[in-house]
Amino acid sequence: MVVCNFFLQGRCRYGEKCWNEHPRGESRGGGGGYNDSYGRSGGQQQQPRGGGGGGGGGGGGFRNRVWVNPSQQRGGFIQPSSFSSQGSSDWGSGGGGGGGGGGGRRENLKSSDFSFSTQNRFSALNASNAFDRGGGGRRGGAAVAEGTAGDEDDDKKLEVIQMDMDAWESSGQWGFSCYSYFKTSISGFTDLSPEELRLEYYSTRASGDLQGYINGVNQLLSQWKSRVQELKVMSPSTRLALLAELNGTAPQLSSSGFGSTPATGFGSSTSTFGRKGFDAAPPAQTSSFGFPAPSSGFGSSSTSSPSTGFGGLLAAPTQPPSGFGSSSTPSASSFSFAAPSAEKPAASSGFGSASGFSFSSAAGNAGGGFGSAFGAGSGTAFGAATASPAAGAAAVGEATGALFSPESKLTQEELNQFKAKRFTLGQIPLKPPPASMLAV
Amino acid sequence: MSLFGAASTFGTGGTGVFGSTTTDSHNPMKDVEVTSPPDDSISCLAFSPPTMPGNFLIAGSWANDVRCWEVQDNGQTVPKAQQMHTGPVLDVCWSDDGSKVFTASCDKTAKMWDLNSNQAMQIAQHDGPIKAIHWIKAPNYSCIMTGSWDKTLKFWDTRSPNPMMSLQMPERCYCADVVYPMAVVATAERGLIVYQLENQPSEFRRIDSPLKHQHRCVAIFKDKQNKPTGFALGSIEGRVAIHYINPPNPAKDNFTFKCHRSNGTNTTTPQDIYAVNAISFHPVHGTLATVGSDGRFSFWDKDARTKLKTSEQLDQPITACCFNHNGNIFAYASSYDWSKGHEYYNPQKKNYIFLRNAAEELKPRNKK
């Protein structure tokens, strides 16, 4: 008889049914002959069987004398890309590649909405993290998996973030939550548990100052909405800021302008001005300020610190509300996070109502008001903020790496550049402009 | 009780005037209702350990009270006793011998309630509300572990007013679980720390969270040799992560799954995503139960990676759940969890605790 070449290589598909001779004594490690009714064999092509069978499927069907250990097989699986497309349709998993690979190993899932994703086989994307997508299904998953280094990758990342924001907004999820993209926390979100909020409500109800609570909550809500909106819209400066965060290159925030707490319902007086860093310091979007961007660049990015000063329990600073306080956003009655964020928080009443707050440190007062302009989403609020540029610059000047450079720190050339109508290529200042030069 | 009384005349009427609408959705699963439930939302549930005969259920609530019921074999629940704090109770736990109950509250204290004498005394003090309390029984020591929003984790010998040990955490403690010798604490800002408790508690590892959003609940699971080997972590985003501490193949063994969402695999309409409020593992089968803000509970088999069952939707979120020591009873509490803010809070709405027979439904799926 003819000796079977495949058998000699260890990969004869027919096993004992093979018409050629299989000389005994050959290695049989890979010799997964399979019964036609099973869709699986050792490392060879996989037939779409609805994911049934898995590695263990070989159990009954193997006529081959060689028992190919399913766990070995699994380890050796090269997950071909064709599998991922099947996988995603079966499991409805967002992570196409990851889901497919995982689905192949497991038996049929009974209910279609139990979708999971295993770690992505593309280890470049961080093997120890669950590679999956919130909300939307199969969209960006495969795309991210295949992205090569560089801009494409970044684009995909940002796309993912946008999708996540979309899903977050429309889903009615709890909004006071931190958010992260693959281990990097995205700044601009405060993490508050429902219990903390509820406790605050109960305490203020006892003390009779419910309105303060309501105002505070609305402020937080509007901050959240504006941040989500920002990330969804993804203006160029937000993009840059985000990418800087994601790549870990953004400078650490100095507390310029942030961290006041409204005294009204919350009773804490955390003074954070002049503090150079926070515990879980989110990076500042200062990079965006160095660019000769129009005022929208200034308005769009916002930095924040993690928690609020509820009842003086927490020492971490809060971001001043973007809605400028007591004028609550139009949808005051609907706490729902899923409410369409039609209102632009910054469009609400102007800077003057900031007097509704009492900021904790005197030096920071103007800085606080000034800084809070950055929490706002639009240029109009920013325009209002320039009403106190001098004070702002002074306060800001204390902090290093601030949003604006004090004039004393800029060289004459840099000042000239800022004064000029346009930047000269090659001489664009790296430092942000002084606040007093802003003409909005 | 009048509410309950009124409901029964409708419900038991069966085909009464209103027909099928009398199936009020507060108990669509037709489970046993615990009598005299607390007057405000239930934050935590705990069943007595196996060292005590019978089943006793403890529930802490936002009405500042902790209540104890005896659950008899025929399903009857008998209210036994109650203790008060000066602030809402956030967590409760039993001592290993079943004689004491520990309660943690927003009033920044934790108390030890001796059930035999019905006396409670303060055993712990924090600078902020205490969110998690667990009893640790080690061969060479026993203590109480409390995790608080003041970012510390403290260990208390109940006889002394000062903590035996105080560990600093990066952020506020949101949830914790203890299965000796492992303890897991999940904090705000997606912090996740594992502690090892042998000899004395120490930080074992800080883990990068597998989830993108706020952590809400955590539960440790054990392997076939009854040793803690990993944990399940739930977030506000309708997702649970199963994480092994030392898996042979982390990329494959750790995974996350979506749950408590409204639309299943229909990706065209935006899903409603609900928080996972609590996770509990069945003590015998190793399968898990999750309860969510959507008012449903689900049973899952994490090894087979399948869902075993999802309940009907209750009209209120389910805030807490718990298995009894032998896994026959599954208790879950239906009350408002503040997931939609204060506008949806109705102090008049009745809160419930239901008991369900869990012996059959939580059997693991056979792996092929």
User: Can you tell me the distance from the alpha carbon of B352 to that of B318, in angstroms, rounded to the nearest whole number?
Assistant: 9
Closest CA to B144 of B168, B129, B166, B128: B166
How far is the C-alpha of A335 from the C-alpha of B292, rounded, in Å?
A: 19
pLDDT at A282: 40
CA atoms A241, A244, A248, A252: torsion sign: negative
Partner residue opposite A313 with nearest CB, options B149, B214, B338:
B149
Residue B5 or residue B267, greater confidence: B267
Question: Which residues on chain B are in Cβ contact (under 8 Å) with A121?
Answer: 251
User: Is pLDDT larger for residue A426 or for residue B121?
Assistant: B121
Whether residue B225 contacts residue B174, with contact meaning beta carbons closer than 8 Å, is answered with no
CB contact under 8 Å between A134 and B128, yes or no, is no
Which residues of chain B are within 8 Å of residue A109 when distances are taken between CB atoms? 305-307
Q: State residue B269's pLDDT score.
A: 67
Q: What is the pLDDT of residues B158-206, one digit of tens each?
A: 899 999 999 999 999 999 999 999 999 999 999 999 999 999 899 999 9
% pLDDT > 90, chain B: 80
B188 to chain A, any CB pair closer than 8 A? The answer is yes
Using a CB–CB cutoff of 8 Å, tell me whether B260 touches chain A. Answer: no
A residues 199-228 lying closer than 8 A (beta carbon) to B:
199, 201-202, 213-214, 217
The dihedrals phi and psi of B204, each to the nearest 5 degrees, come to -100, -50
Residue of A nearest to B131 (CA): A195
- Give the per-residue pLDDT at A163: 86
Q: Cβ B213–A173 below 8 Å, yes or no? A: yes
- Can you list the positions of beta strands (E) in B72-118? 77-84, 89-94, 100-105, 109-114
B339 touches chain A (CB under 8 A): yes
Query: With contact defined as beta carbons under 8 Å apart, do A378 and A347 qualify?
Result: yes
CA B25/CA A295 separation, integer angstroms: 53
Position B1 in a domain:
no
- Angle, CA A404 vertex, CA A401 and CA A406 arms, to 5°: 95
Specify the higher pLDDT residue, B3 or B291. B291
Contact state of B252 with A185 under an 8 Å Cβ cutoff? no
B267: closest CA of chain A, how far (Å): 6
- pLDDT interval class at B266 (50, 70, 90): low
pLDDT band for position A83 (cuts 50, 70, 90): very low
Q: Would you say residue B27 lies in a domain?
A: no
Which pLDDT value is given to residue A3? 87
How many CB contacts within 8 angstroms connect chain A with chain B? 214
**How confident is the model at residue A162, as a pLDDT?**
86
Furthest-apart CA pair in chain B: how many Å?
Answer: 66
Q: Is A57 on the interface with B (CB under 8 A)?
A: yes
What is the secondary structure of B152-214 as a DSSP string?
EEEEE-TT-SS-SEEEE-SS-EEEEEEETTEEEEEETTTEEEEEE-SSS-EEEEE---S-SS-
The arithmetic mean of pLDDT across residues A209-238, rounded, is 87
Give chain A positions within 8 Å (CB) of B361.
none
Report the gap between the CA of B340 and the closest CA in chain A (Å): 6
Q: Are B290 and B275 in contact (CB under 8 A)?
A: no
Greater confidence (B263 vs B43) lies with B43
Rounded Cα gap, residues B67 and B58, in angstroms = 6
A73 vs B contacts (CB less than 8 Å): none
In chain B, residues 103-162 whose CB comes closer than 8 Å to chain A: 106, 127-129, 131, 149-150
Reported as a single tens digit per residue, the pLDDT across B329-348 is: 999 999 999 999 888 999 99
Give the pLDDT mean for A156-173: 85
Task: Tell me, rounded to whole angstroms, the distance of Cα A247 from its chain centroid.
Answer: 12
CB contact under 8 A, B342 and A105: no
- The Cα diameter of chain A in Å comes to 97
Give contacts of B 274-303 with A, CB under 8 A. Answer: 274-275, 300
Mean pLDDT, chain A, whole residue set? 55
Inside any domain, residue B23: no
| Residue B110 domain-assigned (yes or no) | yes
Could you report the per-residue pLDDT of A109-119, keeping only the tens digit for each? 444 444 444 44
* Residue B30 included in any domain: no
Subunit contact B338:A54, Cβ cutoff 8 A: no
- The whole-number pLDDT of residue A58 equals 37
Confidence category of residue B264, pLDDT binned at 50, 70, 90 = low
pLDDT (mean) for B149-157: 94
- The larger pLDDT score, comparing residue A5 to residue B322, is at B322
Residues of chain A numbered 256-285 and touching chain B (CB < 8 Å): 279-280
Nearest residue on chain A to B343, alpha-carbon basis: A335
How much is the pLDDT for A41? 42
Residue B291 has pLDDT above 50, yes or no: yes
Q: What number is the average pLDDT over the span A185-196?
A: 88
Is the pLDDT score of A227 beyond 60?
A: yes
What's the rounded Cα separation, in Å, for the pair A27 and A226?
Answer: 65
Residue A272: which pLDDT band, with cuts at 50, 70 and 90?
A: very low
Residue B328 belongs to domain spanning: 35-338+348-362
Using pLDDT thresholds of 50, 70 and 90, give the confidence band for residue A136: very low
Put simply, the chain B residues between 74 and 93 with a CB less than 8 A from any chain A CB are 87-88, 90
Cβ contact, residue pair A128, B310, below 8 Å:
no
Tokens matching residue B314: 């209750």
**Rounded alpha-carbon distances, angstroms, from residue A347 to A65, A283, B266:** 76, 26, 36
Please tell me whether residue A233 adopts helix, strand or coil conformation. Answer: helix
Strands lying side by side in the sheet with B297-301: B276-281, B288-292, B297-301, B306-310
Contacts of B68 (CB under 8 A, 6+ apart): B56, B57, B58, B79, B80, B81, B82, B101, B115
pLDDT band at A122 (very low <50, low <70, confident <90, very high): very low
Pick the residue of B249, B263, B338 with the most A CBs within 10 A to test the interface with A by mutation: B338
Of these ranges, A39-43, A139-143, A190-194, A288-292, the one predicted with the greatest mean pLDDT is: A190-194
How near does any CA of chain B get to the CA of A41, in Å?
A: 16
Burial label, A276 (beta-carbon count in 10 A; 0-12, 13-18, 19+): middle
How would you label A236-254 residue by residue, b for 16+ Cβ within 10 Å and e otherwise? ebbbbbbbbbbeeebeebb
- Contact between A171 and B257 using a beta-carbon 8 Å cutoff: no
Could you tell me if residue B208 is inside a domain?
yes
For residue A112, the chain B residue with the least C-alpha distance is B265
Pairing of strands B152-156, B165-168: antiparallel
Query: How many alpha carbons fall within 13 Å on the CB side of residue A281?
Result: 16
How far is Cα A364 from Cα A361, in angstroms, rounded to an integer? Answer: 5
Report the 10 Å Cβ neighbour count for B364.
16
Q: Which of B216, B258, B338 comes nearest A197 by C-beta?
A: B338
* Cβ contacts of B128 on chain A, cutoff 8 Å: 313-314
Burial status of residue A342 (CB atoms within 10 A of its CB: 0-12, 13-18, 19 or more)? exposed
CATH of the domain at B247: 2.130.10.10
Structure tokens at B236: 């506000």
**Which pLDDT tens digit goes with each residue over B351-366?**
999 999 988 888 888 7
pLDDT at position A181 is: 82
Question: Does the predicted TM-score (pTM) go above 0.90?
Answer: no
Q: Which of B169, B185, B209, B271 to mutate to test the interface with A (most CBs of A within 10 A)?
A: B271
What's the rounded mean pLDDT across residues A72-87? 40
Search chain A and give the residue with CA nearest B152.
Answer: A314
| Partner B, chain A 37-56, Cβ-Cβ below 8 Å | 52-54, 56
A355 burial class (0-12, 13-18, 19+ CB within 10 angstroms)? Answer: exposed
CA nearest neighbour of B198 among B247, B140, B153: B140
* pLDDT tens sequence across A88-102: 333 333 333 333 333
> What is the spatial distance between Cα B43 and Cα B40, in angstroms, rounded to a whole number?
9
Across the interface, of A110, A171, A178, the residue whose CB is closest to B214 is A178
Residues of B in contact with A102 (CB under 8 A): 252, 255, 305
| Set of chain A residues whose Cβ sits within 8 Å of the Cβ of B212 | 134, 164, 179-181
Give strand pairing partners of B244: B230
Q: Are B351 and B315 in contact (CB under 8 A)?
A: no
Average pLDDT over residues A436-440: 67
More confident residue, A65 or B86: B86
Mean pLDDT of A112-128: 43
pLDDT tier for residue A188 given thresholds of 50, 70 and 90: confident
pLDDT, tens digit, 9 for 90 and up, residues B204-262: 999 999 999 999 999 999 998 999 999 999 999 999 999 999 988 888 899 999 999 88
Q: What is the mean pLDDT of residues A47-65?
A: 40
Which residues in chain A are contacts of B131 at CB distance < 8 A? 195
- ipTM of this complex: 0.89
How far away is chain A from the Cα of B239, in angstroms, using its nearest Cα? Answer: 9
Instruction: Look at A334 and B250 and tell me if their CB atoms are within 8 Å.
Output: no
pLDDT at A129 over 60: no
> pLDDT at position B111, please?
94
Residue A373 has pLDDT above 50, yes or no: no
* CB spacing of A177 vs B273 below 8 angstroms: no
pLDDT in tens, B298-333: 999 999 999 999 999 999 999 999 999 999 999 999
CA nearest to A186 within chain B: B212
Nearest to B100 by CA among B72, B135, B55: B135
Say how many domains are in chain B: 1
pLDDT of residue A335: 55
The residue count for chain A: 440
Name residues 3-42 of chain B within 8 A of A (Cβ). none
CB atoms within 10 A of CB B360: 7
pLDDT digits (tens, 9 = 90+) for B42-58: 999 999 999 999 999 99
Under the banding of pLDDT at 50, 70 and 90, the label for residue A416 is confident
What's the confidence (pLDDT) of residue B333? 95
Nearest-by-CA chain B residue for A177 = B214
Residue B6 domain-assigned (yes or no): no
Write down the pLDDT at residue A26: 54
Q: Nearest-CA residue of chain A relative to B211?
A: A130
Model confidence at A322: pLDDT above 80: no
**Tokens (6 digits) for A6:** 């495949």
pLDDT > 90? residue A108: no
Is B158 part of a structural domain of the chain? yes
Q: Please, which pLDDT band fits residue A353 given cuts at 50, 70 and 90?
A: very low
Residue of B62, B212, B255 lying closest to A102 (CB–CB): B255
8 Å CB contact of A195 and B338: yes
Q: How far apart are CA B33 and CA B31, in angstroms?
A: 6
Axis crossing angle, helix A96-105 with helix A139-146, rounded to the nearest 10: 100
pLDDT-wise least confident of A71-80, A144-153, B121-130: A71-80
What is d(CA B257, CA B305) in angstroms, rounded to the nearest whole number?
9
Can you tell me the distance from the alpha carbon of B333 to that of B350, in angstroms, rounded to the nearest whole number? 11
A164 three-state secondary structure: helix
Q: Taking CA atoms, what residue in A is nearest to B174?
A: A193
